[in-house]
Structure 1
Amino acid sequence: MFYDQDNVTASLRQEIYQIDRDNERFRSGIAQQQEVLDGLRETVQNYGEERDSLVAERQNEIANKKVEIRRIKGGDYSLLGTNEHPANRLAYWIASFILLLLTGYLISFYASVIYNAFLLDPLVLAARQAQQNIVSTVTITNVQAFPLVYEEHGILGVLFLLTSTFVFITLGFLLYWFSHSKSSVWHYILYIFTFIFDAFLAFEIVRKIHLSQSIVNDMPPWEFSMAFSQMEFYIILCAGFGIYVAWGLLLKYVLEEFHKILPALAGIQRRKAEIARLEQEIREIRQKFAEKINLLLQEIREVEQREVGFFKHAIEQNDGRMSALREKLRNHLQNSGTKAQNLRVHVTSFLTGWCKCIHANQPQEKAMELVKECHSVVNNFYQTIGLN
């Protein structure tokens, strides 16, 4: 109930009061929507923390896998569940490089030797040199074996010369293979066969060398025993059979070391695959939580714009109307007499007596709190009726 001196004052105060109640309702709505927004923001934060936790777990696993890979490369085979001694990687790569060079040497050496032993005709060579006014004899090796065999026999001759060299590569591999057999009979048979084969090649080349020299110089007729007195015979045996044996032993070492490296390579490959899987999981986790967080952020923006924005706009409009009404009420009261002033006098007198009663019946600290609350109520009352 308002203390009104006329209907205009009562109407203005009633309208101000109603607008103030509407604003209270709007502020309550803002508070409710703010609780909703706080809940959504907390959910966004929880999603972010859960995402970071899941990503951190997988990143730690990736770091552990990388450490394990470095340990395996360093020779720690305990991670592989095997008691084998780690391979000597430096020796393995050096031996592999030497094996590659020796393979090239054997191919070129035996290609030259086989050409001289099987395809070269000293008489044809002498006739060709006579046409070109060149004088030379057959040598142990012929670095022009491939061009000459292509010129004389075409592509099939080159194919024969190249594939025939792999007979000795195969013998070297069999030497490694039979070294794992419990019975060493085949092992020794292989050595003997290769030695005899090399001896036959050496014998044939030495014979052709003698024939070639006899065309140019006056030489005694060839006899079987001459081969064993020629240095070329033993050079071919050492350069062929000796290197072939070394190649087979080196192949054995390389393959045995590779057998030791193989579990490490498999273990490293398996851990790299796990790292790739974990990295994929991290991408999927980030994408999944990004979608959830974006949906929540969109909902937050919609609530702020639709609900909170509406309430704030309504409060701003009401505040403008209320200010205008209070100004109108204030002007009306000033032009209407002294009843408003009398109301202030009565309220002040009542408040003063009430405060004295509080101080008389309440402890000092409690009395101060109650008096402060009374003044707040009176000020709100004045503000409501437009007397502030």
Structure 2
Amino acid sequence: MDTTSIKNLFKLKSIPIETPKEENPKTESDANTESAEESRKRTYHEAGYRDSSRTNGNHSTLSICLDAVYSKFQNEEKEMTEKQQKLKESYVNEQKNRETEIKALTVSLETKEEQLKNKNTEIEDHQNTIETLKSEILDLPRNPEKYNVNATKGASTKFWIGTILLIPISLYLLTFYISTSYSAFFKNFNAKSTIIQSVLDAQAWSKAWNEGLIEGAFVTLIPFVFLGLGFLIHMFNENKIRANYIKLGLLFVVTFIFDSILAYEIESKLYELNKTFDSPPFDLKIAFTKIQFWGIIFAGFIVYIIWGLVFDFVMKEHREKDKIKNEQEIRQKNVLFLLEKINALKKEIEEILGNIGNTKELIIKTRGRIEELQNIIDGVIIPTKDYKLYASEYVQGWVTFIGEKIAVSKSEKQTMIDSCIETYNTNLETVGANTDNQNLVYLSSL
């Protein structure tokens, strides 16, 4: 196999080396005009030819020689400062960008951690406020003045006591006025009935309804007239003005007159039932002398006044109780509002924690990349395509010697060349140069 066929095998352009038989060697001017790259190619080609001549083209020795060639290539590349700077320029720029990114991520991380701290502080403040509000809710009924609430202590207790007293008094008034109104206007007395039985009839309500709709409705509704009058006592007493006092006085007079009418009617029926031929006609003068007359009046009128005063007391205490209750409700609403804010803050904290985790992870990855870039910058970048070019020149020189100088059969010579090519490909695989990626570099830290 001649030199040309061997070079075609590698598919790379090379410059033939000088041999002792070469009749037209390059002149000095030609060498000066030769480029640095071509000179370097020639050097590797000549080194391959020379080393092959020393080992008779042994492919096993070629493997060792290629390792030495690669080490030589590394040292040469290391000495090429400008070329290394140019090769490392993209890595330096990337490192600067990564360092800028680290600074931005660090600032972002600090901001998020400050936000997290503020959110936790805010939650803690809200929780303390909630505890204070709950304490105030419990303490308000006992010490309303402590919280600038114009209400009476123990208003709730007094309210319930007044309400409990109001119920039996109301039932008493219902019973009394149903019975007395029936006795005064509808009942027929007889001599066998006692005074108590004549005034208070246990069956007055049912008897009134049996006698007719009007009678039943009258005795049923008349107690509510007195209860309504008692309610007016409370209403007039709320605003302590002269007009209301006059109205209140007139109200007492009207109620007293109505009770007097009921007592007069009942006492009149009792008098007619027991009078003799010598008895004078019943009139107010006689009525005023009867104990039963005054007993009926005060049994209704006094109790009615008591009911009105108790009702007024209950309403006042309810108003005081409402003041406290309103303050409690305001605080309870504030508690619920703060709880909602705490839940919202917790969701924000979860989101911030997720962002912090992602930022820290990104910082770690970026720092790792910076370290990788620094290793590249500190090391020697080996352009694999360049090495492949010069290694091929070396092998071409090696096999050129085999083709020209080894005196063996053609088939044996081809076998030797094939073994050398296989060794060459193995070396490219080992150093990572046997790839089609033009940007692939091989890093070696020296």
Q: TM-score range by the shorter chain?
A: 0.5 to 0.7
Tell me the equivalent position of 2:123.
55
CA distance in 1, matches of 2:136, 2:184: 56
1:187 matches 2:254: no
1:235 matches 2:303: no
Call closer, same or farther: CA 1:88–1:267 in 2, change over 3 Å. closer
Tell me the equivalent position of 2:348.
288
Call closer, same or farther: CA 1:56–1:160 in 2, change over 3 Å. farther
- Pairs within 5 Å for 1:112-127: 112-122=179-189
1:102 matches 2:163: no
Q: Deviations over 1:142-198 (max 9, x none)?
A: 3333333333334x6554433321211222233344442325444333322222211
Please report the RMSD computed on the Cα atoms of aligned residues, expressed in angstroms.
4.7
Tell me the equivalent position of 1:357.
none
1:251 aligned residue (311, 323, 326): 311
CA distance in 2, matches of 1:55, 1:151: 72
Call closer, same or farther: CA 1:297–1:164 in 2, change over 3 Å. farther
In structure 1, stretches of 5+ residues that fail to align are: 16-24, 127-134, 312-382
Tell me the equivalent position of 1:69.
137
CA distance in 2, matches of 1:14, 1:231: 141
SS in 2 for 1:73: coil
Match of 1:204, as an amino acid?
Answer: E
The alignment-based identity, stated in percent, is: 23
Bigger helix fraction: 1
CA distance in 1, matches of 2:144, 2:105: 55
How does the TM-score come out when normalised to structure 2? Answer: 0.50
In structure 2, stretches of 5+ residues that fail to align are: 1-62, 75-90, 371-443
- Pairs within 5 Å for 1:86-235: 86=153, 89-122=156-189, 138-154=197-213, 158-179=216-237, 180-182=240-242, 184-209=245-270, 214=273, 220=276, 223-224=281-282, 227-228=287-288, 231-235=291-295
CA distance in 1, matches of 2:152, 2:147: 13
Call closer, same or farther: CA 1:43–1:143 in 2, change over 3 Å. farther
CA distance in 1, matches of 2:65, 2:314: 115
Q: 1:140 Cα deviation (Å)?
A: 1.8
CA distance in 2, matches of 1:112, 1:277: 56
CA distance in 1, matches of 2:120, 2:129: 14
Q: 1:241 Cα deviation (Å)?
A: 1.0
Q: 1:253 Cα deviation (Å)?
A: 2.9
CA distance in 2, matches of 1:224, 1:279: 77
SS in 2 for 1:224: coil
CA distance in 2, matches of 1:79, 1:51: 29
CA distance in 1, matches of 2:140, 2:334: 15
Call closer, same or farther: CA 1:121–1:280 in 2, change over 3 Å. farther
CA contact (8 A) 1:76 1:86 kept: yes
Number of aligned residue pairs: 289
Q: 1:310 Cα deviation (Å)?
A: 11
Call closer, same or farther: CA 1:56–1:175 in 2, change over 3 Å. same
Match of 1:113, as an amino acid?
Answer: T
CA distance in 2, matches of 1:207, 1:162: 23
Call closer, same or farther: CA 1:230–1:308 in 2, change over 3 Å. same
